[in-house]
Structure 1
Amino acid sequence: MGHPHLPTTEAVVVAIHEVAHEFDLEMVVTDDIGADQTSRRVSAGAFTVLDPDGSLPHEAFVELGGLPSVTVQVFPEDDAKITVDQVEFHDVPRDAVPAFLRSVYSGLAHVKGKRFPPGYWLIVPLPGDETYRELVPRIMLSPWLARNVRR
């Protein structure tokens, strides 16, 4: 796991921005700051506004232009949800987000189809033998996903 540690939501957004710049993609960021704004707060009590370190919890939603359609939701709890053409990858460690996006945009990510049991998997290889796999709902094989099928 040779990822640089991305301690804050902001650091992840900066890293995503670098990937967007590298692949010449447009990027739109929506920030939600404060416990009342973020979508989930597993570690905070019901009336807690600050994180234990005294900072406001910060969540960001990033939309990247180009194909495939990609969004990244960065949570205050050290992980992110990356959606590639409606295929959702939950619990991606923050530190893995830039490598994950590079894999998608550089053409390493691909779809593997199986006859038995029938189904398609979106496979996103990362450096260092780390791989993310997610089942593609059959009805959602977008043109980008279909083009990247390998048998």
Structure 2
Amino acid sequence: MDQFPTTEAAVSALRAIAADYGREIKVSHDIGADQTSRRSAAGVGVTTDPDGSLPHEAYVELGGSPRVSVRLYPDDDALIIVEGVECPDVPRADVPAFLRSVLDGLAHVKGRRFPPGYFLIVPLPGDRTHREFMPMVSLTPWLSGRVR
């Protein structure tokens, strides 16, 4: 069973995380197949999916450093952006753990010489990690401070 079966449940979890870390949070909601980003082929005036459900997508921004935003899709996944580094296809159930790793300072950057570049590495529960490639030019001061 999904720990966050709805977009609203995931938003509530993100609100709790923002409160725990004393971060400002801004949330915007897109509801309906004609409003959500992955439903552009829904047609004019169509608001429901073929099964009659009303898709719900949310965009969340956390204030402070590091800059973090989350787009929760109706398809049980999310796009998390940390300091400009896009981490797509994060399962919705992993979003709170992902954010806690970033905000607790567990996320780090690992570099390589050839081909030159870096990876943002975010530890997740169960000895899992999320790795995202990023070019050297995208290192912000926050990311530079986490290079190992």
Give the TM-score normalised by the residue count of structure 1. Answer: 0.90
**Larger RCO (alpha carbons 8 Å, 6+ apart):** 1
- Aligned pair 1:99/2:97, yes or no? yes
- Deviates further, 88-97 or 54-63: 54-63
* Alignment partners' CA distance in 2, 1:109 and 1:85: 12
Task: Measure how far apart 1:49 and its partner are.
Answer: 2.5
Matched to 1:66, the amino acid is G
Please name the residue that 1:36 is paired with.
34
Please name the residue that 2:84 is paired with.
86
Question: Which runs of 5 or more residues in structure 2 are unaligned?
Answer: none
Matched to 1:74, the amino acid is L
* Alignment partners' CA distance in 2, 1:51 and 1:130: 33
DSSP-derived class of the 1:149 partner: coil
- Aligned pair 1:59/2:57, yes or no? yes
Residues paired across the two proteins, number: 147
Task: Measure how far apart 1:45 and its partner are.
Answer: 5.3
Question: Which runs of 5 or more residues in structure 1 are unaligned?
Answer: none
Q: Once the two structures are superposed, what CA deviation does each residue of 1:80-119 show, in whole Å capped at 9, x if it has no partner? A: 0000001001110000000000000001000001122221
Q: Once the two structures are superposed, what CA deviation does each residue of 1:123-151 show, in whole Å capped at 9, x if it has no partner? A: 0011111110111222110000000000x
Matched to 1:64, the amino acid is L
Q: Which of 142, 145, 151 in structure 1 is aligned with 2:143? A: 145
Matched to 2:103, the amino acid is Y
* Alignment partners' CA distance in 2, 1:21 and 1:53: 36
Task: Measure how far apart 1:53 and its partner are.
Answer: 5.4
Quote the sequence identity (%): 61
Q: Which of 94, 107, 110 in structure 1 is aligned with 2:108? A: 110
